[in-house]
A and B are shown apart, each in its own frame.
Chain A
Amino acid sequence: MSKITYREALNQAMAEEMGRDDNVFLMGEEVAEYNGAYKVSQGLLDKFGPRRVIDTPITELGFAGLGVGAAMTGLRPIIEFMTWNFAMLALDQIVNAAAKMKYMSGGQYSVPMVFRGAGGSAARVGAQHSQSLENWLVNVPGLKVVMPSNPADAKGLLKASIRDNDTVIFIENEINYGDVGEVPDSEYLIPLGKADVKLTGCDVTIVAHSRMTGFALAAAKELAKEGIEAEVVDPRTIRPLDENTIIQSVAKTNCAVVVEEGWRFAGIGAEISARIMERAFDDLDSPVIRVTGKDVPMPYAANLESLALPSVRDIVEAARTACGRA
């Protein structure tokens, strides 16, 4: 095991996969000579040269489409969006082309590629640069959506995503880039579609992804002081969702809190609550509680910004209510 950052873990995943397969290339704004807006691609240009690490003009729709076309010919593009906010310009290529090409072509053309970049709320950058848009993307059949919450997951999941034969939406967390964690030294992959129980407990299930996994673990610590044992489930892959792990946990705890940073309306929490209702209704002692970002554009002022986001306190309170110890 080595202690590395989330950023370095992503960098190692790309370097290893580019080293083993010449069909893998990285393209995006500032990925090459500038070493990445968030330095995730640090050193890759030096290692692999300008054929495989390519700076683009600021032209998201165009280079997203380039990735789709290249993937259809058997290459394995990694298309970096500086942040997912800017991927909104490329939605046509993601939703209408990448996700549907295999179906529309009757299976003749696959689109084995990764769209990756920073997502989630950032700090003090206002409404356009700070938001969670994963619920837009998980809605689309044909896409896989992966959101790692720590360095070890980031590395293993990105390597698996690059090798996957379908289009993977890989949403990193901007605030987590500097987080340090233990990462195995020998090569490993983490299969897509498998949740991870980050903490076992028997009193309440807390489902949380990406940065919210860390919040949920912090909440669990608080709850432990009160004698409440929380189980924290990180789905890691949001689509397809490892529903069984969530259902099994609820069967044990009989209550659940679902946490997400994004907006509440038609969010991931709504989907997960519905699934728990569909499959574990009889196991529930209380209604599922959602802890979400507030239904507002992200404000700039520090106090308003923190009000807009879920907090550890919100999760603690929801968990107490869910297990009847409020």
Chain B
Amino acid sequence: MSAKQKQDAGITHDGVFFAQEELHKMHDKMLFIRRFEEKAGQMYGLKKIGGFCHLCNGQEAVCVGLNHAARPDDNIMSSYRDHGHILARGTEPTAVMAELLGRSGGVVKGKGGSMHMFDASKHFAGGNGIVGEQVPIGLGFGFSNWYKDDGGVTICIMGDGGINQGAVYESFNMAALWKLPIVFMVENNQYAMGTSLDRASAETQLFKRGISFKIPGMKIDGMDVLEFKKKMDEAIEHTRSGQGPILVEAMTYRYRGHSMSDPATYRTRAEVDEWRTGRDPIARIQAQMIKADLATEESFKQKDRDIKKEVAAIAKSAESQPEPDEAELWTDIYTDPIAGAYPYPGKVG
């Protein structure tokens, strides 16, 4: 290949050109998230991570595709299944791992854990553990984009279970009524804990859930990062251009149980395999890149070894951090504490 050809190298997906640099970035980030989540699973098994821990293995293309489409100043609101989203956003992975371990260098100083990841500097606003709660909050972020007229949009993520909450429809109505710049994104991974979509939803085509609010819907293959990024670009452009909110249904699948305590006996091995081996987003982009001569099987293997090493080093470094200082118990409750008022620290025991 000549230097010129190399520069032009890439993949054209459905009329959209992806340069090799972007392809590598997307691939590497997806693989990184996969290995990071595996490590988190391991650390959980060793009882180093406590409580609830929701992994996103299988859903990496959604996290990464979304972040390649969104601008750095767009707001992203997530549920508790947030490791992949905050990593895709570019937050320091050691801080994410430290948070899982409840350490002082955690992204929220060890006060949140797996479910409550926030990074305000990256416009990543949680990390919300009450199913559906983030949707009205996301509405507020979108309202703020409109009020400040800052050109940003808000991407508000919910699950196929979360979309059944009443607050979601209150938010759809107001977002559409006031034409707010919001992309509502439902990660349809087919299950809400042990409840399959068809056992919980009268309308299983979730992208249609906005129809009575005049919110257009798009169903996107969330196992294909190129397709996802392309369609997400369109959805974001729709709302950024002032046409009001849009609802995106990302078709995806979680490979692991709902949380670490879930053996996922409510689904068949065959079903899991069908997604895992048939539609895996990482295997897919690897095959596409090899076919386009942008990488080789060996180069991907090497990449994988490098990432595993990197993740191991991250875990080690996070683990070496101290637990939060005990004084942290009392900080971040109020911005303007009122001196002498019980039950503030140092007051009546």
Contacts and interface: CB of A to CB of B under 8 A. Distances in A.
Interface string B73-105: 001010000000000000000000000000000
Contacts of B331: 107
A97 B130 CA distance: 9
B126 A61 contact: no
Contacts of A63: 136, 170, 174
B342 A275 contact: yes
A283 B136 CA distance: 50
Contacts of A16: none
A241 B340 CA distance: 9
Contact of A240 (B116, B126, B142, B342): B342
B335 A72 contact: no
A179 B140 CA distance: 35
B329 to A, nearest CB: 10
B295 interface: no
B119 A166 contact: no
B139 A66 contact: yes
Given A62-B170, A65-B139, A73-B140, A106 B106 contact: yes
Interface residues of B, number: 51
Given A105-B112, A141-B333, A70 B338 contact: no
B260 to A, nearest CB: 21
B164 interface: no
Nearest to A52: B147
B136 A106 contact: no
A244 interface: yes
A241 B128 contact: no
A107 B136 contact: no
Interface string A54-88: 00110101111111111111110100000000000
Nearest to A279: B348
Contact of A142 (B127, B144, B173, B334): B334
Interface string A98-114: 00011111111110100
A242 B109 CA distance: 31
A77 B144 CA distance: 10
Main secondary structure of the interface of B (DSSP, over half): mixed
Contacts of B120: 105, 108-109
Given A106-B118, A142-B334, A70 B140 contact: yes
B341 interface: yes
B340 A70 contact: no
A17 interface: no
Most chain A Cβ neighbours within 10 Å, of B137, B174, B177, B340: B137
B125 interface: yes
Contact of A69 (B109, B118, B138): B138
A72 B334 CA distance: 14
A166 B133 CA distance: 20
B332 A62 contact: no
A90 to B, nearest CB: 9
A110 B136 contact: no
Given A102-B335, A106-B332, A65 B140 contact: yes
B296 to A, nearest CB: 42
Contact of B136 (A68, A142, A191, A279): A68
A51 interface: yes
Contacts of A77: 140
A186 interface: no
Given A59-B173, A62-B171, A105-B112, A165 B336 contact: yes
Which 8 pairs show the lowest CB-CB distances between chains A and B?
Answer: A69-B140, A65-B136, A62-B170, A240-B341, A106-B108, A193-B338, A165-B335, A105-B118
21 contacts: A59-B173, A61-B170, A62-B136, A62-B167, A65-B139, A65-B140, A66-B171, A69-B77, A72-B137, A72-B140, A75-B148, A92-B133, A103-B111, A103-B333, A107-B109, A108-B118, A108-B120, A109-B125, A165-B335, A193-B338, A237-B338
Interface of B: 75, 77, 106-112, 116, 118-120, 125-128, 130, 133, 135-144, 147-148, 166-167, 170-171, 173-174, 177, 331-336, 338, 340-344, 348
Given A67-B140, A69-B143, A97-B137, 12 more contacts: A62-B139, A69-B77, A104-B111, A104-B126, A105-B112, A107-B332, A112-B335, A164-B336, A192-B338, A237-B338, A240-B338, A240-B344
